[in-house]
Structure 1
Amino acid sequence: MTTDDGIKIHYLDTETDGPALMLGHGFFMDAEMWLPQLEELADHYRVIAVDARGHGRTEDSGNPFTYWDLAWDAWKVADALGLDRLVLGGLSQGGFTALRMALLQPDRTRALVLIGTTAAAYTEQEREGYERVIVKSWVGGAVPIDDIALPMAAVMIGGDRDSHQRPWVEKWRASDRGRLAQAARCLIDREDLTELLAEIKAPALLLRGIGDQAFSHQHMSDLAAGLGGPARVKTISADTATHICNLTHPELVTPEIREFLDSLPA
């Protein structure tokens, strides 16, 4: 779909009957990271996964944007599909977006499914690290692609090297690294939402891979404690479950999501 300001938003949609679940992907990824959930939940739910600006097949102007802009992008997709109330989900930056979606449209937010994410801004040390890794090494091309992509896939994606990591490494090799410039600024410069969390009254399920090096159990516990509605934290404890555990361990993650969705009032 194309927005009024010319953003061409690409998304995947099961187009199936049932309550709607909209999912946002992590940085460096795209909507296809949610394919296991689109395939497995479509029997009872309509599942939509949106490519954020700078990622996947979404086309934007190259101008600066924030996660509030991405939140409005996603709501415009919901509007175009005629969806009123949705469960909002996301991993990492997808979670940043889902939280902002809930703050913008609380009456349309049935619940939240948040994986490996936080409401907090980066610390100064974290900002410096991401400036070095993403802005200089990735976007700026200071490091050969495989020198950064291979170790990043192992840490961030985890799971099996051939079946889980390799397809994404191949995508990254073929990508325009400079395309992530504005997305990197959006990520690194985002503001802290902690003081606003109590405004979100919808129930929430929070998941985290046990080996996630980006967000700790404390991050998830703090997020759950800050939310204004009931929230449950669950750790995906398989040895190779890292940041993007929904992709590598759908047999553990998807049943948790299904059980949560099934428990929601109509």
Structure 2
Amino acid sequence: MTTEDGARIHYRDTGGDGPAVVLMHGFFKDSEMWAAQERSLAPDYRLITIDARGHGLTEDSDAPFDNWRLAWDAWAVVDHLGLDRVVAGGLLQGGWIGMRMALLQPSRVRGLILIGTRADAYDAAESVGFEMIIMNQWILGDGPLEPIATPIAVQMIGGTREDRRYWLDKWNASDRRRLQQAGRCLIDRESIVDLVKDITAPALLMHGVQDQIHSRRQTEELAGQLGGPTRVETIDGLGAAHAVTYTHPEVTDPIILDWLASLPA
């Protein structure tokens, strides 16, 4: 699907006539992180997963973009597929995009799935840390990626060594400088705390008990900031860190299915 500014947005679609769910990946990942959900949600639900600019198979001009642009990209995919209302959301960055989708077109969002995400901007210390590690060492660095990426994978994925090895191999084979605009979008993200009170759609918020990136407190803060009914779930288990839907689908997916079934038509 091609946007009005020429970006070619790659997406995966399980198809079918079930209610549509649009999920977006976290930073450094792509739509393949939702493979388990493609199996568990179908055929009752139609799952659409999108590669954000700078990630996966999406092609863009390398011009600067922000999370509002990514939200419009997601709506462009939804419109391309001829869908009216959807459940939206995703992991970290995917949650930021989902909340902006709801702010841009509130009547079209049936609900939000928000995993390890927040509405506020990074504070000064977080911004400096991400600038040094993600921008200067990972994206713009010239040294080997593996020593940088391995500890980050523990935090951003969690799970087992096998879970992390899959993404480490993808990262090592990729063009790391392709992420430059995505990195700026990540680090320079603005706060929408004063806006999310206008989101009245029901929201499911999930958080891995061992998540070192996103705390239970931040999840509860976001639940209190949203304007609609919320359900907060902490995912337990060995390695249940940040990307819990990828590492622990046997725990997360029954919760997602139960919540989806509770939504008004």
- Normalising by the smaller structure, the TM-score range is over 0.9
Shift of 1:244: 0.3
**Which amino acid is 1:103 matched to?**
L
Partner of 2:226: 227
Tell me, what secondary structure is at the counterpart of 1:207? strand
Matched, 1:9 2:9: yes
Match of 1:79 in 2: 79
Q: Distance in 2 between matches of 1:109 and 1:65?
A: 23
Corresponding residue number in structure 1 for 2:118: 118
Unaligned ranges ≥5, structure 2: none
Task: Flag as ranges the 4+ runs of structure 1 deviating above 2 A.
Answer: none
Provide the C-alpha distance between the structure 1 equivalents of 2:56 and 2:252, rounded to a whole number of angstroms: 23
* 2:14 maps to amino acid: T
State the secondary structure of the residue aligned to 2:77: helix
1:37-78, CA deviations, whole angstroms, 9 ceiling, x for partnerless residues? Answer: 011101200000000000000001100000000000000000
Deviations 1:218-255 (A, max 9, x none): 11001000100001111001121000010000000111
1:142 Cα deviation after fit = 4.6
Deviations 1:67-125 (A, max 9, x none): 00000000000000001000012100000100100000000010000000000100000
Q: In the alignment, what sits opposite 1:44?
A: 44
2:195 maps to 196
Instruction: Name 2:90's counterpart in structure 1.
Output: 90
Unaligned runs of 5+ in 1: none
Is 1:26 aligned to residue 26 of structure 2? Answer: yes
Match of 1:173 in 2: 172
Matched position secondary structure for 1:21: strand
CA distance in 2, matches of 1:226, 1:155: 26
Distance 2:144 2:259 in 1: 42
Structure 2 Cα separation of the partners of residues 155 and 188 of structure 1: 17
Q: Which residue of 1 aligns with 2:252?
A: 253
Q: Distance in 1 between matches of 2:164 and 2:134?
A: 19
Q: TM-score, normalising length from structure 2?
A: 0.99
Aligned equivalents of 2:21 and 2:156: distance in 1?
24
Partner of 1:134: 134
| d(CA) in 2 for partners of 1:169, 1:144 | 12
RMSD: 0.8
The equivalent residue for 1:265 is 264
**AA in 2 matched with 1:114:** L
Where do 1:47-66 residues align within 5 Å?
47-66=47-66
Give aligned-pair identity as a percent: 56
Q: Distance in 1 between matches of 2:209 and 2:250?
A: 15
- For 1:3, the aligned partner's letter is T
